[in-house]
Structure 1
Amino acid sequence: MTENERILNAEAPALSKAARVKYFNIVIESGKGATVTDADGKTYIDLLASASATNTGHSHPHVVKAVQDQAAKLLQYTPAYFANDPAAKLAPRLAALAPISGPTALGWGNSGSDANDAIIKFARAYTGRPYIVSFTGAYHGSTYGSLSLSSVSLNMSRKIGPLLPDIIKVPYPDPWKRLSGEPEAAFVNRMFDAFKLPFETYLPAEEVAAILIEPIQGDGGIVKAPAAFMHQVYDFAKANGILFAVDEVNQGMGRTGKWWSIQHFDLEPDLMSVGKSLASGLPLSAVIGRREIMNSLDSPANAYTTAGNPVTAAAAMATIDVIEDEHLLARSIRLGKKAAAFFEDEKQKFSFIGDVRMYGLDGGIDIVDPVTGKPDSEATAKLVYRVFELGAIMIFLKTNVLRFQPPLVITDEQLQAAFKILDQAFSELAADKLSLPSNVDEIGW
């Protein structure tokens, strides 16, 4: 029995099956930069970055030192009652990074999920309206509020309803909804008509508090909404007194080559959620918004015992240092161009590669049936397992989208090594040399 197997077998009786999305039976023992090592001592190139939660890489020395130094001084005293120095310094620094003109303020949380819950709270409080509009394909989290906003897996609603009331979902303009030969302008207009349909039939706009959107959907397939669509939705919100809110949990903190994905659209949100890579993967999140919105609630409406913990706040300060000092935004753009070129070249070689979407070091690659052009879930599962066997960690989204989100600190040499692994897996799939993993029916979302 391997060490991976021993640890997993010991854990299995005590871990709820609802707590982990299954892919590979490994135990992560350690990580450094863009690599992780399992309990059996095998090292992998990480193309997932802990679900885009370690943009600065694993165990970055500057982040580690900040955590160690702070832990030696104070591990925790609840920020719900008293300030701590790291969080007090982080708050104005993070608020200043928000793409919102004018005074801003924030509230701390422990995960992206509760940051999105907070968007619901503050939007309803500020506007006095009940309804929240979100989009199909969205993943906003697993608390009841954020889960109610989400629309990416039936297991996020199966057997746990009723969900939060007054949440309305509209179609996200993802590429799978675009008709063959349909011009983008026609596609945008058609999707905006679908967006407006609830407002024209049963949803009074004057009773809607906020529209929450991922400018680039993460778990929905790494797909960017058309700019024209985003501007139409934004203008509709402003014309009707509706707050425009964005989820930056997956796509923020430099992932797309900008601090925030909304900056690709030249739009300012009223509210935004931040998490995952904010503290290099440690449990810290924030809801940030215009100050008058963030002051529409009194305490303890959004206070948590551990949110704004001094250790996680110190990690976040160090994370921002690393992104700025090591120019990770520019690095994401540069290496993202290399990745886009690689996948486009592979697309020319292999007919099962469909759409390639790359926004900095942030990619979704569709695997399709070459004959029908439809999603090929079996080929996708074969690929990610072969990539894993060859020494890299990559998962799939939906049923057929390869998720490419390596740490932004990945070296050029590591990136080229990952490309070599991917090319080998693609070649072996094309030669019909790959087989499905034995647990194919239980993996993925």
Structure 2
Amino acid sequence: MTGSNHQLLAQENDVFATCARIKYFDVVLDHGKGAVLTDVEGNHYLDLLASASATNTGHAHPTVVKAIQDQAAKLTQYTPAYFANSTTAKLAKRLAAIAPMSGPVEVAWGNSGSDANDAIIKFARAYTGRQYIVSFTGAYHGSTYGSLTLSGVSLNMTRKLGPLLPGVVKVPFPSPWEQEADESDEHFVNRYFKAFKEPFETYLPADEVAVIVIEAIQGDGGIAMMPPAFMQKIYDFAKEHGILFAVDEVNQGMGRTGKWWSIQNFPGIEPDMISTAKSLASGLPLSAVIGRKAIMESLGAPANVYTTAGNPVTSAAALATIDVIEKEHLLARSQKLGAKAKAYFEAAKEKYPFIGGVRMYGLDGGIDIVNPVTGAPDEEATTKLIYRVFELGAIIISLRGNILRFQPPLVITEEQLDQVFKIFDQAFAELAAGKLALPAAAKEMGW
């Protein structure tokens, strides 16, 4: 080991920008295997975050590691901006084959989910000749200027950074906690669709809108699925007005919800483009936009060219990732273990009144922690819980202050999942008994 967690963090603190990390726990990770992480002091943690859903195949999967090693010994880098390489060419074909849209599609490479979402803006404007982009509050699309402008989850993503990209209009997302206690699903959907249409009826000409960009399931917004009826309404609206429909699959794709893509949880909805990254290459820096051929041919080089995008090593990792998901049946595994996790948290909700909504889509969950009396979000209780879970040997973080983000690697074993439930049993019981205290750095923790 190279030092303690606190020693290494103290050394890093002098030279590391505050804006580059959302603070949670004082831990320095050293290595990982499957669903287990180990810090520099040798402490082990069950990983319930999967590197922000970037390691769906787990840590150091042998198939992925071997593919990286073999490719690095063959060709580490030559920019696809000028020449093709055999590995990336194979990956383009594989991705096109699993695209959630019919008809011919094409792929464009990037290095991160952020630049992939920037690329969606480029292609949409080029293809339609229109300027406006519509996205949703609560969304997280990335940290480059275009993707940051699309986002609506944190004030620190706009504070001191203006002016942002012009032409982006945000509409409210129908998050489940916004539904009133006595409100029917139909009324809730109609109420939010009315709010969706208001800009189009007052200041935003539909015939000047290029694309609607959505997360079918908002990730950092709270692991919240868009109501299917609302999805259908905005999809039909887009088609009626010649507006493209794009889905950000960076967080929710690559098997996370038990399907290749989160949009496949909505039968009959075919996007015009999707963005993917994170778990595409098991956490290595690779992204892609997959879109209908006519749209993807609307730009000429070098409008979306990056020197290292489509790197052969990251592409080899992505090919291996697809192999692992297919051969180890991780889609079915996510569905099966997700159902087990949902049953556990639903049972815990019946036992503990501080557990509000439970949302689980495969191994992809958001658990609301609320004040038992008022039902209001309880950020203090949430912080107590995530810190106690960390002390007991698992890593989970919060979203929106009061939502537990449950996204373990899809390779987590049932035995490990049972260990996780035992940890939560203890943490929940201790919170209920008033035994948990806030950590010293509580005010600095979280989004």
Deviation at 1:2, TM superposition (A): 5.8
Give the partner amino acid of 1:128: G
For 1:172 and 1:394, the matched residues in 2 are separated by 25
Residue 397 of structure 1 corresponds to: 399
Residue 292 of structure 2 corresponds to: 290
- What is the correspondence of 1:39-438 to structure 2 with a 5 Å cutoff? 39-266=40-267, 267-438=269-440
For 1:344 and 1:245, the matched residues in 2 are separated by 33
Residue 30 of structure 1 corresponds to: 31
- Superposition CA RMSD, Å: 0.8
For 2:170 and 2:445, the matched residues in 1 are separated by 26
Residue 20 of structure 1 corresponds to: 21
Deviation at 1:11, TM superposition (A): 1.0
For 2:263 and 2:81, the matched residues in 1 are separated by 30
For 1:109 and 1:128, the matched residues in 2 are separated by 23
For 1:164 and 1:110, the matched residues in 2 are separated by 20
Cα shift readout 1:132-180 (whole Å, capped 9, x = no counterpart): 0000000000000000000000000000110000000000010121111
SS of corresponding position for 1:293: helix
For 2:399 and 2:96, the matched residues in 1 are separated by 31
For 1:8 and 1:79, the matched residues in 2 are separated by 37
**Unmatched tracts of structure 1, length 5 or more:** none
For 1:69 and 1:43, the matched residues in 2 are separated by 29
Give the partner amino acid of 2:186: A
Deviation at 1:440, TM superposition (A): 1.1
Give the partner amino acid of 2:170: K
Please identify runs of 4+ aligned residues in structure 1 that moved more than 4 A. none
Give the partner amino acid of 2:41: D
Cα shift readout 1:395-442 (whole Å, capped 9, x = no counterpart): 000010000000000000000000000110000000000000111111
Deviation at 1:283, TM superposition (A): 0.3
For 2:335 and 2:81, the matched residues in 1 are separated by 39
For 2:414 and 2:310, the matched residues in 1 are separated by 35
SS of corresponding position for 2:14: helix
Give the partner amino acid of 2:315: A
Task: Number of aligned residue pairs: give it.
Answer: 445
Deviation at 1:365, TM superposition (A): 0.2
SS of corresponding position for 1:314: helix
Q: Could you tell me the percent identity over the aligned residues?
A: 71
For 2:278 and 2:394, the matched residues in 1 are separated by 21
Cα shift readout 1:296-326 (whole Å, capped 9, x = no counterpart): 0000000000000000000000000000000
TM-score by length of 1: 0.99
For 1:150 and 1:96, the matched residues in 2 are separated by 29
TM-score by length of 2: 0.99
For 1:278 and 1:96, the matched residues in 2 are separated by 14
For 2:204 and 2:197, the matched residues in 1 are separated by 9
